[in-house]
Amino acid sequence: DTGVSQDPRHKITKRGQNVTFRCDPISEHNRLYWYRQTLGQGPEFLTYFQNEAQLEKSRLLSDRFSAERPKGSFSTLEIQRTEQGDSAMYLCASSSTEGTEAFFGQGTRLTVV
Amino acid sequence: GQNIDQPTEMTATEGAIVQINCTYQTSGFNGLFWYQQHAGEAPTFLSYNVLDGLEEKGRFSSFLSRSKGYSYLLLKELQMKDSASYLCAVRDRKQAGTALIFGKGTTLSVSS
């Protein structure tokens, strides 16, 4: 396992379409995080899973966003009825225990046109 | 990262030392992290402080003062490859549980 992987790396979609991103964390990591990053800003926390349970959700996560981690391994983030403001880099990170660093994936860059 | 402040940009020359400051406000502090992020790439972990004091790791050191809500990242013997954004992040149990809250990042430009 070489690290956190995300797919796709880039996604261009028309406004109003639905998109889904996938994240495969480091295999032994039970904690998984989704962040969103726009140009010139630091990553903003969206949601957190411990195994298959979604334990935390940011106020940033509107009703159009949903995330799953069905078997406690990979995770998906879906955005419904995309808006231009959703254009950003979506980063996934995983960690093994609290107090240790989180390892980030390369991200999925979403452009809504 | 509205509760985390760090300078937007810094410049330095090769071989020099640079200190990037970070101040934060939390109600449930549980650790401070520094990450490096090159343009278009994922953030990579540099350091972690949970107790007051200095943590040294090669050319990079990080300092924490919990009473002052203050940290700095010290980069020595700067190299061109150190040109990147440096992100200060805190873990605040009362804001986001185990997730990290990031500052906006400091863009460091190293010139020859």
Cβ of residue A65 closer than 8 Å to a chain B Cβ: no
Flag if A56 and B99 touch (Cβ within 8 Å).
Answer: yes
Report the relative pairing of strands A88-95 and A108-112 from DSSP bridges: antiparallel
Token pair, residue A22, equals 């996938």
Q: Which helix (H) or strand (E) holds B48?
A: strand B44-49
Residue A102 DSSP symbol: P
Higher pLDDT, A108 or B1: A108
Distance between first and last Cα of chain A: 35
Cβ of residue B103 closer than 8 Å to a chain A Cβ: yes
Instruction: Quote the longest CA-to-CA distance of chain B.
Output: 44
What does the alpha-carbon distance between residue B105 and residue B89 come to, in Å, rounded to a whole number? 9
Flag if B97 and A40 touch (Cβ within 8 Å).
Answer: no
Scanning B48-103, the segments in alpha helix (DSSP H) are: 93-96
Is residue B84 scored above 80 in pLDDT? yes
How many helices (H) and strands (E) would you count in chain A? Answer: 0, 11
Over the stretch A53-65, which tens digit does the pLDDT of each residue have?
999 898 888 899 9
Average pLDDT, chain B: 93
Confidence at residue A98, expressed as pLDDT on a 0 to 100 scale: 63
Compute the average pLDDT of residues B93-97. Answer: 71
Nearest CB to A56; choose among B42, B48, B97 = B97
Cβ of residue A41 closer than 8 Å to a chain B Cβ: yes
Token pair, residue A3, equals 């690290």
Give residue A112's pLDDT band: very low, low, confident or very high (50, 70, 90).
very high
Name the E strands within chain B.
4-5, 9-13, 18-24, 29-37, 44-49, 53-57, 60-65, 70-75, 84-92, 100-102, 106-111
Task: Of A109, A51, A52, A102, give the one whose Cα is nearest residue B44.
Answer: A102
Cβ of residue B51 closer than 8 Å to a chain A Cβ: no
Cβ of residue B1 closer than 8 Å to a chain A Cβ: yes
Flag if A42 and B103 touch (Cβ within 8 Å).
Answer: yes
Over the stretch A30-77, which tens digit does the pLDDT of each residue have?
999 999 999 989 999 999 999 999 998 988 888 999 999 998 899 999
Lowest mean pLDDT, pick from A9-13, A14-18, B26-30? B26-30
Cβ of residue A32 closer than 8 Å to a chain B Cβ: no
What does the alpha-carbon distance between residue B107 and residue B85 come to, in Å, rounded to a whole number? 4
Strand partners, B45: B35
Give residue B98's pLDDT band: very low, low, confident or very high (50, 70, 90).
confident
Compute the average pLDDT of residues A93-99. Answer: 80
Is residue B94 scored above 80 in pLDDT? no
Flag if B43 and A43 touch (Cβ within 8 Å).
Answer: yes
Report the share of chain A in percent with pLDDT over 70. 97
> Which chain A residues have a beta carbon less than 8 Å from that of B98?
31, 48, 56, 98
* Alpha-carbon distance B76 to nearest alpha carbon in chain A (angstroms): 22
Over the stretch B61-75, which tens digit does the pLDDT of each residue have?
999 999 999 999 999
